């Protein structure tokens, strides 16, 4: 019986110690959570950052968000037209009789232009063309045949005096006109002519500033009405 009593005493002591450990053993120290006080946070200026130790500056730079690339400068837009920066064009040369018609045509496109007077020498242009055919249908069929030969830069003239002629280009430089003439003949184009246009006084050209891409396209579509005039980009004054 004594050994049984001893065992019960030991078990009671063990249970007593187990349930009173918090009172017997000292408590472990708790880590104190630092309080955040926003009013004490300051933003350093670039000059203050320069005075910090190197490792501190490197750590600050490493935590900065990556800077995004600067956005590309967009091409300015006027209404629905995208304007090419400093894009200036000259359209000409026009005889006194055709100048008023050209001005009326650009007015319908809501464009403004400055008239530039040309001297007799400046007005000289060399036109490479195929003489007028009898009907518009013949002219269109011939134009299709020429495109099949690899001649893509052409149009059928609508100007009354030269209606149904096929124009290949207008040049200030006679050598360029001769070069085109020879290239056309080498491709099998027959009855092609080079002629001097715009002789005499009173000829003019039209100067445009800041043309939009669609405005340039619209001007090019007027070629068939004014075969003696060429549209070219020039240096803006």
Digit-coded pLDDT (tens) for 135-158: 999 999 999 999 998 998 898 988
Give the pLDDT confidence score for residue 127 in this predicted structure.
Answer: 87
> Do residues 113 and 215 both lie within one domain?
yes
Give the pLDDT confidence score for residue 126 in this predicted structure.
Answer: 85
- CATH code of the domain in which 176 resides: 3.30.70
In a domain, 7, yes or no: no
In a domain, 6, yes or no: no
> Do residues 216 and 174 both lie within one domain?
no
* Choice among 9-18, 20-29, 45-54, 63-72 with the minimum mean pLDDT: 63-72
> Do residues 205 and 115 both lie within one domain?
yes
- CATH code of the domain in which 209 resides: 3.30.70.2030
Q: Count Cβ atoms below 10 Å from residue 179 Cβ, excluding itself.
A: 13
Q: What is the CA radius of gyration of the chain?
A: 44
pTM, rounded to two decimals: 0.48
> Do residues 165 and 193 both lie within one domain?
yes
More confident residue, 88 or 18: 88
Q: Identify whether the C-beta of residue 194 lies closer than 8 Å to the C-beta of residue 128.
A: yes
- Overall domain count for the chain: 2
Whether residue 24 has pLDDT greater than 70? no
Give the HSE-up count for residue 169: Cα atoms under 13 Å, Cβ half-sphere.
17
pLDDT, tens digit (0-9, with 9 covering 90-100), for 52-110: 665 544 555 555 544 444 444 444 443 344 444 558 899 888 887 788 888 899 999 88
Evaluate the omega torsion of the peptide bond into residue 70 and state whether it is cis, within 30 degrees of 0: no
The domain of 96 spans: 86-124+201-232
Strand order in the sheet with 114-117: 114-117, 204-209, 88-94, 230-234
> Do residues 158 and 190 both lie within one domain?
yes
Q: Which residues are CB-neighbours of 235 under 8 A, at least 6 positions away?
A: 88
In a domain, 66, yes or no: no
Q: For the chain, give the percent of residues with pLDDT over 70.
A: 62
């Amino acid at each position: 019986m004594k050994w049984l009593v001893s065992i019960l005493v030991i078990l009671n002591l063990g249970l007593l110690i187990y349930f009173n450990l918090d009172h017997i053993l000292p408590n472990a120290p708790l880590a104190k959570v630092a309080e955040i006080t926003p009013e004490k946070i300051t933003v350093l200026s670039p000059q203050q950052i320069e005075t910090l130790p190197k490792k501190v500056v490197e750590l600050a730079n490493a935590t900065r968000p990556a800077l995004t690339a600067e956005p590309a400068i967009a091409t300015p837009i006027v209404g629905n037209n995208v304007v090419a920066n400093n894009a200036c064009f000259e359209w000409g040369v026009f005889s006194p009789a055709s100048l008023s018609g050209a001005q009326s045509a650009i007015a319908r496109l809501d464009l403004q232009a400055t008239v530039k007077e040309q001297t007799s020498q400046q007005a000289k242009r060399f036109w490479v063309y195929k003489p007028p055919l009898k009907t518009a249908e013949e002219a269109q069929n011939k134009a299709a045949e020429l495109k099949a030969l690899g001649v893509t830069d052409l149009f059928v003239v609508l100007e009354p005096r030269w209606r149904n002629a096929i124009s290949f280009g207008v040049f200030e430089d006679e050598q360029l006109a001769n070069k085109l003439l020879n290239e056309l003949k080498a491709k099998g184009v027959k009855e092609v002519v080079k002629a001097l246009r715009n002789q005499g006084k009173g000829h003019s050209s039209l100067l445009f500033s800041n043309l939009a891409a669609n405005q340039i396209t619209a001007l090019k579509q007027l070629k068939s009405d004014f075969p003696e005039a060429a549209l070219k980009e020039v240096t803006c004054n």
